[in-house]
């Protein structure tokens, strides 16, 4: 058992499941947006604003943003723990990895908060 | 004449590894890579490699042959030679002791972690613990692993985290005991695997399946372990 405190779900299975589910949410959102744009060729600002200010659409967008954030957290965490390791770059790796991990987490959370501000500010 | 390029490194003499070229006359025969090495060793006795059974059973002569991990004894030149050139390197990702011999301690440490033995503390029956034919059939494709390390040393996840990720070979063996009807430690075994590294560093790129000289499928076994974890943890 290799424990870890900076992974998203603290458990391999949890991270694995979240990565899969979030991928489905992002795919559904992409299909919806592309489909909407294709079916609405004369899209104007009023229609676009109405769509994005409706509660269901706000929830769908927020769910997608949370999915992107979770997916990015899991993916970035994997990349950082693969390449910034004592084995590869020496003893300074641990401090460097923690800085990058916390930085990545902070940026992800800031993006989520910013996105909520944008979604509910429409 | 076949051009054979071999990775050489003797830490007592060489400051760094180098590739040494040999010319080899195959006499038109499609012999095995190990035969080439054996003949070259007569020419240059300082060339070092591991070998034992020379028929793909012991798993000693795993090496990187023209870019692909495999057993030298069961890899014919017709599979390995590209543009009249044969390139032989040690298995990647583990420390080199000398020439084609690698230090496999890390590989065995991961194998040890999965407790590769039957755990059953119930009183033993008079003769033996029986299995039905169906139960026994579940072990096919698992028990055949010879621990040659071709798969684990072909896996980037194992290269980057050989101390944390168990690797395809160890996980194939882990599933061999999880799937065994006579083993009673399934829950404890699974509990030891549910962390972000041991199993879940596998991203399913299937290098292990591509190189396994015994034709086994560690990725499939890892999938089964994941299914068992999902069943118990959700």
DSSP letter for each residue of B17-78: -EEEEEEE--TT---BHHHHHHHHHHH-TT-----SSSSSSS---EEEETTEEEEGGG-BHH
Residue B192 confidence (pLDDT): 92
Distance between CA atoms of B219 and B168, rounded to whole angstroms? 7
Question: B57 to chain A, minimum CA–CA distance in Å?
Answer: 31
pTM: 0.90
Q: Which domains does chain B have, with CATH numbers?
A: 2-102 (3.10.20.30), 105-233 (1.10.1060.10)
B219 CB within 8 Å of a chain A CB: no
Q: What is the ipTM of this complex?
A: 0.84
Range of the domain at A45: 12-119
Structural domain includes residue A101:
yes
- Give the pLDDT confidence of A5-21 residue by residue, as tens digits: 888 888 889 999 999 99
Structural domain includes residue A22:
yes
- Give the pLDDT confidence of B42-79 residue by residue, as tens digits: 999 999 999 999 999 999 999 999 999 999 999 999 99
The total domain count for chain A is: 1
Check CB contact under 8 Å for B200 and A12: yes
Structural domain includes residue A6:
no
B174 CB within 8 Å of a chain A CB: no
Distance between CA atoms of A3 and A11, rounded to whole angstroms? 8
CATH number at residue A41: 1.20.1300.10
What does the block give as tokens for A84? 């910034």
Structural domain includes residue A1:
no
Task: Please answer whether residues B60 and B53 qualify as being in contact, where contact means their C-beta atoms are separated by less than 8 angstroms.
Answer: yes
């Amino acid at each position: 058992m290799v424990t870890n405190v900076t992974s998203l779900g603290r458990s391999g299975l949890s991270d694995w499941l979240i990565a899969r589910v979030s991928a489905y949410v992002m795919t559904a959102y992409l299909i919806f947006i592309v489909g909407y744009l294709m079916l609405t060729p004369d899209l104007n600002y009023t229609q676009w604003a109405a769509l994005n200010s409706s509660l269901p659409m706000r929830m769908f967008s927020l769910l997608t943003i949370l999915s992107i954030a979770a997916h990015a957290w899991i993916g970035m965490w994997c990349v950082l723990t693969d390449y910034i390791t004592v084995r590869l770059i020496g003893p300074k790796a641990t401090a460097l990895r923690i800085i990058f991990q916390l930085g990545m987490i902070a940026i992800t959370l800031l993006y989520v908060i910013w996105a909520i501000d944008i979604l509910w500010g429409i | 004449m076949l051009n054979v390029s071999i990775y050489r490194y003797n830490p007592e003499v060489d400051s760094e590894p180098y590739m040494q070229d040999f010319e080899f006359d195959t006499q038109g025969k499609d012999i095995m890579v190990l035969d080439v090495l054996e003949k070259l060793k007569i020419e240059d006795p300082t060339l070092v490699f591991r070998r034992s059974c020379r028929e793909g059973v012991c798993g000693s002569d795993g090496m990187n042959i023209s870019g692909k991990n495999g057993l030298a004894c069961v890899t014919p030149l017709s599979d390995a030679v590209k543009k009249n050139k044969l390139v032989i390197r040690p298995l990647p990702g583990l420390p080199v002791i000398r020439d084609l011999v690698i230090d496999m301690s890390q590989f065995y440490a991961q194998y040890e972690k999965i407790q590769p033995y039957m755990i059953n503390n119930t009183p033993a029956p008079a003769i033996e613990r029986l299995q039905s034919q169906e139960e026994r059939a579940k072990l096919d494709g698992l028990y055949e692993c010879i621990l040659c390390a071709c798969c684990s040393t072909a896996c980037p996840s194992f290269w980057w985290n050989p101390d944390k990720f168990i690797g395809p070979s160890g996980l194939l063996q882990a599933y061999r005991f999880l799937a065994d009807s006579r083993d009673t430690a399934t829950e404890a075994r699974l509990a030891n695997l549910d962390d972000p590294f041991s199993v879940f560093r596998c991203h399913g790129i299937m290098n292990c399946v591509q190189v396994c000289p015994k034709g086994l499928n560690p990725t499939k076994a890892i999938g089964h372990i994941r299914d068992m974890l999902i069943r118990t943890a959700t």
